[in-house]
Amino acid sequence: MPPKVKSEAEKQKASALILDAARELFVTKGIEAVTMREIAKKIGYSPTTIYLYFKDKETLIHEICVKDFEQLGGQLSGLMQIEEPVERMINMGDSYARFALNYPNHYRMIFMTRWSECPLGDDIDPGKDGYQLLMQVVEAVYEAGHFLPEHDNPELIAQTIWAGIHGVCSLQINMGHDPHINWTDIEDRIALMLATLTRGLLKYPNYKRKLK
Amino acid sequence: MPPKVKSEAEKQKASALILDAARELFVTKGIEAVTMREIAKKIGYSPTTIYLYFKDKETLIHEICVKDFEQLGGQLSGLMQIEEPVERMINMGDSYARFALNYPNHYRMIFMTRWSECPLGDDIDPGKDGYQLLMQVVEAVYEAGHFLPEHDNPELIAQTIWAGIHGVCSLQINMGHDPHINWTDIEDRIALMLATLTRGLLKYPNYKRKLK
DNA sequence: TCGATAGATTAACGCTGTTAACTTAATGCT
DNA sequence: AGCATTAAGTTAACAGCGTTAATCTATCGA
């Protein structure tokens, strides 16, 4: 029962079929279940058929990453409507953390995996690039003069905020089930990190978060 | 030319030989070079000989982790002689980051890899356990009353500090070569994170680091 | 009606971690 | 001293992986 000529739309459909199967596999059964043979079995294809649509396993995974990364970007860009820059910044950190913990396997793939090449980001829609969005809001806070005067490099500030939130999330994802550590509630850890970053970076040592 | 009966010390030696070969392999050639066959070739053994000394690849790697983790612990415990608790805490964060960046492959194995079981820590000498050391110094700072009064949980504070430093280091290790991000100098990122954590957590909004 | 071709499959290669069976030299026992 | 036992190590082999090459077959254009 092999071949019938496929339209461009049908090819797209087959491609999406593979992508979704691969995504669901590692979301539900973990990254180690994502083998070419496993993906193929799931959709009733032969293992090698995947190679008609994707160069190799890495680019397949990479394409999933780009899509999910843009989903994160979409989630974050919704926050750009918050007018007060500091509140916008804090909510962005919070939203970022929520994405990481709701989709730990996605997050691990995007930010916790070493990429031999294609370092993500190249194919990302700039409007949905989470880092660019963070830069924008940090720059807004900077322009408004809310940071300590000794902090004169928005890029450095943004990277520090990113590192703080990422640290909480990645530790939770990788070691959150280690019984050797007496972990406190993850919500408390996120909240304290956000509070520490704002108090540590802003002019106002007593800044209290208003929204949410 | 096979076997001669080996004393316990000789067994230890063979075990260490395997461990060192495995460690050097992934330090120099990266984690993907660490295959049982590669390790064996390096020391002139047959691949299966390794299984006489280690149950499987995971426990072999795990044993390397424990050793290197204790090395980090030793490095950190040297700082316990600093009498002023806050300075001790800051230097501990700094020293931790230096370990992470000097031995990125070690660090990746210890803190950035998902362990199916044996979550490290079980076999660690408590005196060389980095987390315990951090807890001790955070508790000292807490007892001395240097934290903001609203922060009444030393464990939560310690985990936040850890997360902050770990975030800087793990982002650098995993994405530090991503040309898509305009990375600032890593030393600046470490310094700003330490400054932000101290200002964010301590009572004193103008605390300036003294030593080093 | 007859190639040509697109879509998919089977076979196969070299790699991996790991187990089973085998080899060989030294030891303990009688 | 001679012989079975055993410890240390090797070779062979299995199942699974990503991937490439060769093959098959139903449809399309002429």
For B17-152, strand residue ranges (E) read none
Of A106-110, B52-56, B122-126, B130-134, which gets the smallest average pLDDT? B122-126
Instruction: List the single residue in A122, A155, A171 with the smallest CB-CB distance to B162.
Output: A171
The pLDDT of A176-204, averaged and rounded, is 95
Nearest Cα residue in chain B from A201 = B196
The pLDDT of B83-103, averaged and rounded, is 96
pLDDT in tens, B173-203: 999 988 889 999 999 999 999 999 999 999 9
Examine the pLDDT at A8 and tell me if it is beyond 80: no
Contact A84, B140 (CB under 8 A): no
Which nucleotide's C1' is closest to A49 (Cα)? C8
pLDDT in tens, A137-170: 999 999 999 999 999 999 999 999 999 999 999 9
The two structure tokens encoding residue B2: 């096979």
Q: Distance between CA atoms of A157 and A139, rounded to whole angstroms?
A: 9
The two structure tokens encoding residue B112: 């950035």
Examine the pLDDT at A64 and tell me if it is beyond 70: yes
Nearest Cα residue in chain B from A168 = B163
Residue contact A196–B162, C-beta within 8 A: no
Residue contact A168–B157, C-beta within 8 A: no
Of A118-132, B9-23, B83-97, which gets the smallest average pLDDT? A118-132
Q: Concatenated DSSP letters for B2-21?
A: ------HHHHHHHHHHHHHH
Q: What is the DSSP letter of A52?
A: G
Closest CA to B193 of A164, A47, A17, A14: A164
Instruction: List the single residue in A112, A181, A200 with the smallest CB-CB distance to B200.
Output: A200
The pLDDT of B104-108, averaged and rounded, is 85
Model pLDDT, residue A117: 59
Share of chain A above pLDDT 70, in %: 90
Helices B104-111 & B8-28 angle (0-180, nearest 10): 110
For chain A positions 106-135, those within 8 Å of chain B (CB to CB) are 108, 111-114, 119-122, 124, 131
Cβ-Cβ contacts under 8 Å, A195 against chain B: 200
A28 SS3 class: helix
Cβ-Cβ contacts under 8 Å, B134 against chain A: none
Average pLDDT of chain A, as a whole number: 90
Model pLDDT, residue B42: 96
Which nucleotide's C1' is closest to B10 (Cα)? D8
Q: Is strand C in 7 Å reach of the CB of B5?
A: yes
Residue A99 has a CB neighbour count (10 Å cut-off) of 22
Average pLDDT of chain B, as a whole number: 90
The pLDDT of A65-90, averaged and rounded, is 93
The pLDDT of A77-85, averaged and rounded, is 96
Place of tokens 């929204």: A211
Give me the CA A119–C1' D24 separation in Å, rounded: 39
- Which stretch of DSSP H or E encloses residue A115? none
B202 pairs with which residues across the strands? B147
Give me the CA B145–C1' D8 separation in Å, rounded: 61
Examine the pLDDT at A40 and tell me if it is beyond 70: yes
Share of chain B above pLDDT 90, in %: 67
Predicted confidence band of residue B209 (pLDDT cuts 50, 70, 90): confident
Rg of chain A over all Cα atoms, to the nearest angstrom: 20
**Higher-pLDDT residue of A1, A116:** A116
Examine the pLDDT at B212 and tell me if it is beyond 70: no
The b/e string for B179-201 (b: 16+ C-beta within 10 A; e otherwise) is eebebbebeebbbbbbbbbbbbb
Nearest Cα residue in chain B from A207 = B200
Predicted confidence band of residue B118 (pLDDT cuts 50, 70, 90): low
Predicted confidence band of residue A101 (pLDDT cuts 50, 70, 90): very high
Q: What are all long-range contacts of B188-191, with beta carbons under 8 Å and residues at least 24 apart?
A: B188/A153, B188/A156, B189/A156, B189/A159, B189/A160, B189/A163, B190/B94, B190/B97, B190/B165
Model pLDDT, residue B124: 73
Model pLDDT, residue B210: 67
B202 SS3 class: strand
Instruction: List the single residue in A153, A163, A196 with the smallest CB-CB distance to B201.
Output: A196
pLDDT in tens, B54-71: 999 999 998 998 888 888
Nearest Cα residue in chain B from A152 = B192
How far apart, in Å, are the Cα atoms of A64 and each of A29, A61, A110, B94, B133?
Answer: 16, 5, 9, 36, 40
For chain A positions 73-102, those within 8 Å of chain B (CB to CB) are none
Model pLDDT, residue A116: 56
Dihedral sign, Cα of residue B133, residue B138, residue B141, residue B145 = negative
Model pLDDT, residue A128: 75
- Which stretch of DSSP H or E encloses residue B72? helix B57-77
